[in-house]
Protein backbone atom coordinates (compact mmCIF):
# COMPACT_ATOMS: atom_id res chain seq x y z
CA UNK A 1 0.00 0.00 0.00
CA UNK A 2 1.17 3.53 -0.73
CA UNK A 3 1.35 6.16 2.01
CA UNK A 4 -1.74 7.81 0.47
CA UNK A 5 -3.67 4.53 0.62
CA UNK A 6 -2.56 3.97 4.23
CA UNK A 7 -3.71 7.48 5.21
CA UNK A 8 -7.06 6.96 3.49
CA UNK A 9 -7.53 3.59 5.21
CA UNK A 10 -6.70 5.16 8.59
CA UNK A 11 -9.18 7.97 7.89
CA UNK A 12 -11.99 5.52 7.15
CA UNK A 13 -11.17 3.55 10.31
CA UNK A 14 -11.19 6.73 12.39
CA UNK A 15 -14.54 7.78 10.90
CA UNK A 16 -16.01 4.44 11.95
CA UNK A 17 -14.81 4.80 15.53
CA UNK A 18 -15.12 8.46 16.50
CA UNK A 19 -16.25 11.93 15.54
CA UNK A 20 -13.59 13.83 13.61
CA UNK A 21 -13.23 17.60 13.74
CA UNK A 22 -12.72 19.51 10.49
CA UNK A 23 -11.23 23.00 10.31
CA UNK A 24 -13.24 26.18 9.90
CA UNK A 25 -13.64 28.94 7.37
CA UNK A 26 -10.28 29.36 5.62
CA UNK A 27 -11.49 32.20 3.39
CA UNK A 28 -12.78 34.21 6.30
CA UNK A 29 -9.55 33.71 8.24
CA UNK A 30 -7.53 34.84 5.23
CA UNK A 31 -9.63 37.93 4.67
CA UNK A 32 -8.98 39.01 8.26
CA UNK A 33 -5.25 39.21 7.54
CA UNK A 34 -4.89 40.18 3.89
CA UNK A 35 -4.14 43.46 2.18
CA UNK A 36 -4.59 44.12 -1.53
CA UNK A 37 -0.85 43.56 -1.99
CA UNK A 38 -1.09 40.16 -0.26
CA UNK A 39 -3.58 39.03 -2.89
CA UNK A 40 -1.18 39.99 -5.67
CA UNK A 41 -2.84 43.28 -6.61
CA UNK A 42 -6.27 44.82 -6.92
CA UNK A 43 -7.27 42.55 -9.82
CA UNK A 44 -6.86 39.53 -7.50
CA UNK A 45 -8.45 41.01 -4.39
CA UNK A 46 -10.67 38.50 -2.56
CA UNK A 47 -9.32 35.58 -4.58
CA UNK A 48 -8.21 33.73 -1.47
CA UNK A 49 -7.05 30.73 -3.48
CA UNK A 50 -4.23 32.83 -4.97
CA UNK A 51 -2.70 33.42 -1.55
CA UNK A 52 -1.10 29.96 -1.73
CA UNK A 53 1.17 31.61 -4.31
CA UNK A 54 1.59 35.11 -2.87
CA UNK A 55 1.56 34.33 0.89
CA UNK A 56 1.91 30.58 1.49
CA UNK A 57 3.18 31.38 4.99
CA UNK A 58 -0.23 32.79 5.94
CA UNK A 59 -2.09 29.76 4.58
CA UNK A 60 0.24 27.40 6.43
CA UNK A 61 -0.16 29.44 9.60
CA UNK A 62 -3.94 29.14 9.46
CA UNK A 63 -3.72 25.38 8.89
CA UNK A 64 -1.46 25.13 11.92
CA UNK A 65 -3.83 27.21 14.07
CA UNK A 66 -6.65 24.77 13.34
CA UNK A 67 -4.41 21.77 14.01
CA UNK A 68 -3.15 23.28 17.27
CA UNK A 69 -6.70 23.50 18.61
CA UNK A 70 -7.42 19.90 17.69
CA UNK A 71 -8.72 19.71 14.12
CA UNK A 72 -8.38 16.20 12.74
CA UNK A 73 -8.94 17.27 9.13
CA UNK A 74 -7.84 20.45 7.39
CA UNK A 75 -9.13 21.55 4.02
CA UNK A 76 -7.02 22.74 1.15
CA UNK A 77 -7.30 26.42 0.27
CA UNK A 78 -8.97 25.58 -3.05
CA UNK A 79 -12.55 26.70 -2.52
CA UNK A 80 -12.53 28.62 -5.82
CA UNK A 81 -9.83 26.53 -7.47
CA UNK A 82 -11.63 25.74 -10.70
CA UNK A 83 -10.43 27.15 -14.00
CA UNK A 84 -13.92 28.63 -14.36
CA UNK A 85 -13.58 30.89 -11.31
CA UNK A 86 -9.88 31.59 -11.66
CA UNK A 87 -10.47 32.76 -15.24
CA UNK A 88 -12.67 35.53 -13.87
CA UNK A 89 -9.45 36.90 -12.35
CA UNK A 90 -7.39 36.12 -15.48
CA UNK A 91 -5.41 33.35 -13.78
CA UNK A 92 -7.37 30.34 -15.03
CA UNK A 93 -4.26 28.83 -16.58
CA UNK A 94 -2.80 28.54 -13.06
CA UNK A 95 -5.60 26.34 -11.70
CA UNK A 96 -3.58 23.13 -11.57
CA UNK A 97 -0.50 24.77 -10.04
CA UNK A 98 -2.54 26.63 -7.40
CA UNK A 99 -4.50 23.51 -6.42
CA UNK A 100 -1.33 21.48 -6.21
CA UNK A 101 0.43 24.11 -4.08
CA UNK A 102 -2.58 24.38 -1.76
CA UNK A 103 -2.72 20.62 -1.30
CA UNK A 104 1.00 20.44 -0.59
CA UNK A 105 0.76 23.21 2.03
CA UNK A 106 -2.06 21.39 3.79
CA UNK A 107 -0.28 18.03 3.58
CA UNK A 108 2.92 19.47 5.12
CA UNK A 109 0.95 21.01 8.01
CA UNK A 110 -1.00 17.78 8.58
CA UNK A 111 2.20 15.73 8.60
CA UNK A 112 3.86 18.15 11.02
CA UNK A 113 1.03 17.72 13.53
CA UNK A 114 0.30 14.01 12.97
CA UNK A 115 1.30 11.49 15.58
CA UNK A 116 0.62 7.75 15.67
CA UNK A 117 -2.00 8.45 18.35
CA UNK A 118 -3.57 11.38 16.52
CA UNK A 119 -3.10 11.31 12.77
CA UNK A 120 -4.23 14.35 10.77
CA UNK A 121 -5.80 14.35 7.33
CA UNK A 122 -6.33 16.66 4.38
CA UNK A 123 -9.63 17.21 2.58
CA UNK A 124 -9.39 18.63 -0.92
CA UNK A 125 -11.91 21.48 -0.93
CA UNK A 126 -14.00 21.86 -4.05
CA UNK A 127 -16.12 24.96 -3.64
CA UNK A 128 -19.36 25.76 -5.37
CA UNK A 129 -17.71 28.27 -7.75
CA UNK A 130 -18.98 31.82 -8.09
CA UNK A 131 -21.63 30.72 -10.57
CA UNK A 132 -24.76 28.67 -10.35
CA UNK A 133 -27.07 27.89 -13.21
CA UNK A 134 -30.20 28.91 -11.33
CA UNK A 135 -28.80 31.96 -9.49
CA UNK A 136 -26.24 33.87 -11.52
CA UNK A 137 -26.46 32.13 -14.87
CA UNK A 138 -23.70 32.48 -17.40
CA UNK A 139 -22.63 28.86 -17.03
CA UNK A 140 -23.98 25.54 -18.20
CA UNK A 141 -24.28 22.32 -16.28
CA UNK A 142 -21.73 20.78 -18.62
CA UNK A 143 -19.22 23.57 -17.90
CA UNK A 144 -19.63 23.07 -14.16
CA UNK A 145 -19.29 19.31 -14.54
CA UNK A 146 -16.10 19.69 -16.59
CA UNK A 147 -14.55 22.04 -14.03
CA UNK A 148 -15.32 19.80 -11.07
CA UNK A 149 -14.10 16.78 -12.98
CA UNK A 150 -10.81 18.55 -13.75
CA UNK A 151 -10.36 19.42 -10.07
CA UNK A 152 -11.15 15.89 -8.92
CA UNK A 153 -9.02 14.03 -11.44
CA UNK A 154 -5.81 16.02 -11.67
CA UNK A 155 -4.14 13.09 -9.94
CA UNK A 156 -4.28 11.07 -13.11
CA UNK A 157 -1.87 13.51 -14.74
CA UNK A 158 0.92 13.48 -12.15
CA UNK A 159 1.73 11.32 -9.16
CA UNK A 160 2.43 14.40 -7.01
CA UNK A 161 -0.83 16.15 -7.77
CA UNK A 162 -3.77 17.43 -5.79
CA UNK A 163 -5.98 14.45 -4.97
CA UNK A 164 -3.76 11.45 -5.48
CA UNK A 165 -0.87 12.36 -3.22
CA UNK A 166 -1.83 15.23 -0.95
CA UNK A 167 -5.54 15.11 -0.19
CA UNK A 168 -6.99 12.09 1.57
CA UNK A 169 -10.53 12.84 0.44
CA UNK A 170 -12.38 15.45 -1.56
CA UNK A 171 -14.95 17.69 0.09
CA UNK A 172 -17.60 19.29 -2.07
CA UNK A 173 -18.84 22.59 -0.62
CA UNK A 174 -22.20 24.02 -1.51
CATH number of the domain encompassing residue 117: 3.20.20.330
Share of the chain above pLDDT 70, in %: 86
- DSSP at 22: B
Owning domain of residue 130: 3-168
With contact defined as beta carbons under 8 Å apart, do 56 and 105 qualify? yes
* Domain assignment of residue 174, yes or no: no
Q: Is residue 160 pLDDT above 70, yes or no?
A: no
Distance CA 113, CA 142 (A): 40
Query: What tens digit of pLDDT does each residue of 59-106 get?
Result: 999 999 999 999 999 999 988 888 888 999 999 999 888 988 999 999
Q: How many domains does the chain have?
A: 1
Secondary structure of 92-103 in HEC code, one letter for each residue: HHHHHHHHHHHH
Q: Is residue 163 pLDDT above 60, yes or no?
A: no
Q: What is the mean pLDDT of residues 109-119?
A: 95
Q: Is residue 28 pLDDT above 50, yes or no?
A: yes
* Domain assignment of residue 60, yes or no: yes
* Domain assignment of residue 103, yes or no: yes
* Domain assignment of residue 173, yes or no: no
* Domain assignment of residue 115, yes or no: yes
Amino acid sequence: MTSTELRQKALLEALESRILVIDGAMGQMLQLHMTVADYGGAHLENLTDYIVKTRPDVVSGIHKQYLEVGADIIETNTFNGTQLVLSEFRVGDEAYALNKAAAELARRAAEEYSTPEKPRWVAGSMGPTTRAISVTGGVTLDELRQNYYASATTGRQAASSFLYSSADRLRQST
